[in-house]
Amino acid sequence: MSGRTASLSPPAGAMPPVRHPEAPAPGELLGSHYDQCFGCGGAQPHGLHLEARAGEGVSLTAEFRVKAAHQGAPGLAHGGVLATALDETLGSLNWLLRVIAVTGRLETDFVRPVPVDTVLHLDAHVVAVHGRKIYSSATGRIGGPDGPVAVRATALFIEVKVDHFISHGRDAEIKAALADPDQQRVARAFEVNP
């Protein structure tokens, strides 16, 4: 065993999250962190095309329309796709902290089925930060932003350096990402605003 704690509750000594002064203003779209991302990439034909908008503090909202390609059972969204939408939404929160982080742990509750063509209204916030560990939670509702809860998740993200992607990613995609002026801007922003 690794000795890692399975708990998604912040430990004693965890601090409230601090919104970065240059984080997008409440109401602003965050944009995609990577064009080919399955969750948010605009150039990813198979993706969820999730769009997140900054909220107050370290929170955001996002919308995801379930398409026919996302089915598990007839006419219903696949649970893994819904978990991806939650993961992406939670991951986007770290941009408000100006921290690069990857999902270490994601716990999902599936509360009610989500039909195809439904818009899932997601909201997420960071609960606490402890060293490199970021504790966050998200809720997805259907029928409107105040509709019934369909899915919920709590997560632990771990802060990493941009080298994480450079040393683990595939060469071709790394080179393409570095050649994309937007991605370079993202990476640079992360480097100068740790």
Q: Cα separation of 178 and 187, whole Å?
A: 9
Site string for ligand 3IX, 17-46 (x = CB under 6 A): ----------------xx----x-------
Which of 14, 11, 81 shows the shortest CA–CA distance to 46?
81
Q: Does 137 bind ligand 3IX (CB under 6 A)?
A: no
Q: Does 170 bind ligand 3IX (CB under 6 A)?
A: no
How many residues touch ligand 3IX under the rule CB under 6 A: the total is 28
What is the Cβ-side half-sphere exposure of residue 70, based on CA atoms within 13 angstroms? 28
* Nearest to ligand 3IX of 153, 187 (CB atom): 187
- Beta carbons of 107 and 114 less than 8 angstroms apart: no
* Nearest to ligand 3IX of 65, 132 (CB atom): 132
- Beta carbons of 134 and 72 less than 8 angstroms apart: no
Q: Cα separation of 38 and 2, whole Å?
A: 30
- Report the interface residues with ligand 3IX, using CB under 6 A: 4, 33-34, 39, 87-88, 91-92, 100, 102-105, 131-133, 156, 158, 160, 162, 165-166, 174, 177-178, 183, 186-187
